[in-house]
Chain A
Amino acid sequence: MINRTHNEKAWLLVLPVVILVAFNAVIPLMTVVNYSFQETFGNNQFFWEGVKWYEQVLNSERFHQALGRQIFFTATILIIEIPLGIAIALCMPKKGIGVSICLVLMALPLLIPWNVVGAMWNIFALPDIGLLGRMINGLGIDYNFTQQPIAAWLTVVLMDVWHWTSLVVLLCYAGLCAIPDAYYQAARIDGANRWQIFRFIQLPKLKRVLIIAVLLRFMDSFMIYTEPFVLTGGGPGNTTTFLSIDLAKIALGQFDLGPAAAMSLIYFIMILLFCWVFYTLMMRDESEQ
């Protein structure tokens, strides 16, 4: 029988990350929880309000509308970006000089700061001076994202697809490159066509990276703030005011820290719930297989 030696001193090695997480996540989260039960008028003076802010946010029409827009936006970009990312990854070369070129091109949008992406697309899509805006109007289509809600939505979605599909592509490409050649050889021997190779070899092997891709894109798109804020400012009207933009308006514009804290915690719990359900279902499916 082997006697295992336990050395608890190894836990000290995780101490730096514990301190880091405490300062950048746990302490701010605790503060938000504290604020969500109180009212403040500044000067570090707080007044206990109980669960009033939660009740107010949960029954607020403004919150329901922002949540609806947020869910619709997230669903739209996931439906577009995931299949598009897989398709582009499948088309990318597996060897040769083309690999480096494709990887650099794919990585470029990811390297651009979020506010710059918003500013770029703002200028690009302006109906009078922007290349995209002028081109669409030149085709005879009336397009003005600063005044038309549908045009604003299309521009925001297009911008997000341009910015973030690359992430899905790179993840899927890494997953595809990790599939051993033996699988393809076996498929060729069995006479499998292109669709069957994708359906029964590539897609199952991509499952893990797709879980990561969907989770990352879900979380990022559900918390999106900078790009739409710079592009449309949440307008026209409130048509592109997503949850985070609404939250910033309440917290910073109106300085209503209590309702903003309650809203951000509700927002956090929704994201946590979705991610947990999604991850659990996907992992259960995998363990059953």
Chain B
Amino acid sequence: MFSLTWMAWTWPTAAFFIVIALLITTMILLERKYPGGSPRRGVFGLDTTRGDRLFISLLSAAIIHLAWLGIIGTPLWGALIISLLFAAFVFKFV
């Protein structure tokens, strides 16, 4: 029987990857509905598409969480709120 024990899955990490997979699926569906990736030049002068904005949001979220953990420590709710706010800013203005 094919076993995935060695991958050491847990519900929190599985949930994390499910969210990432759902975000990518949403991007695919949005691209089918509104083709072209809605390119624009945002406040930082960067030419971004919808996918770029998702990438920036995810990378920023990772860095915000690590910075929070390194400087303040647990719990990470503050980092999560900042990440969500920053993602909203990126999708609206960047």
Contact = CB atoms under 8 A, between A and B. Distances in A.
A276 B10 contact: no
Contact of B8 (A38, A59, A269, A273): A38
| Dominant secondary structure at the B interface | helix
Contacts, number: 57
A54 interface: yes
A37 to B, nearest CB: 6
Interface residues of B, number: 23
B89 interface: no
Contacts of B69: 51, 54-55, 58
A148 interface: no
B59 A272 contact: yes
Nearest to A29: B17
Contact of A34 (B9, B62, B76): B9
A40 B55 CA distance: 32
A273 B16 contact: no
Contacts of A40: 8
B78 interface: no
A30 B66 contact: no
8 contacts: A31-B7, A34-B8, A51-B74, A58-B69, A269-B66, A273-B59, A276-B59, A284-B47
